[in-house]
Amino acid sequence: MFTNKFAHVAPGALEQKTFLADAIGAAVWGPEGVEHVGHLLVDGDAVETDEGQLVAVHTPGHTSNHLCFYWPERRALFAGDMLLGRGDTTWVAEYPGCVADYFESIERLRELDISVAYPAHGPPLENVAKVLDRFARHRRIRVRQVEHALIGHEDATPEQLFEIVYGGSLPKGMEEPARLSLAALMEYVRGRDQT
């Protein structure tokens, strides 16, 4: 089961997964936009497994087609890239409107009875309500940083605000993802200011 169209960043990952599925006769399930999916999933679709039902939950933000899979019998969530097992942020910069969608997806997950989340990256997450708070808080802090940085620089580009927002706080190699994230945050703030 794929959670989104980034069939994980490693070259050949999609081919390896579909090869394995073919080799063992497993079906390939996932959202629209993922190559080689034999069974398209949309919000609310239930997949029967030997261990119970998994329900697809559309959670855009990381990607427009992102799905989490909720396992009601175990109060568990397969979170994909919506949450990460470490830290307090995930990639949210893929498309216009992604930041607003991400906030809405966090609220949507709050409505589910979840005791544990299994992210695509990192260890399982317990106390999921606090984890959702942490991820939302991080994104809100970034939004406030952008709001403050735009004061007096309303027409600034992401490049012009980069140093103001991030300073020297980024790990090496994260500059480009941060620039794209900053552009998404600026789009969110500017769009909200116009409504």
Blockwise average pLDDT, block size 10, the chain, 195 residues: 62 64 76 79 95 97 95 98 93 94 98 97 97 97 95 91 86 90 96 76
CA distance 28 to 157: 41
Residues 149 and 186: their CA atoms lie apart, in Å, by 10
Domains plus CATH for the chain? 13-193 (3.60.15.10)
Nearest to 94 by CA among 62, 58, 68: 62
- pLDDT recorded at residue 6: 63
Beta carbons within 10 angstroms of residue 70's beta carbon? 22
Contact in structure between 30 and 41 (CB atoms under 8 Å): yes
pLDDT of residue 147: 96
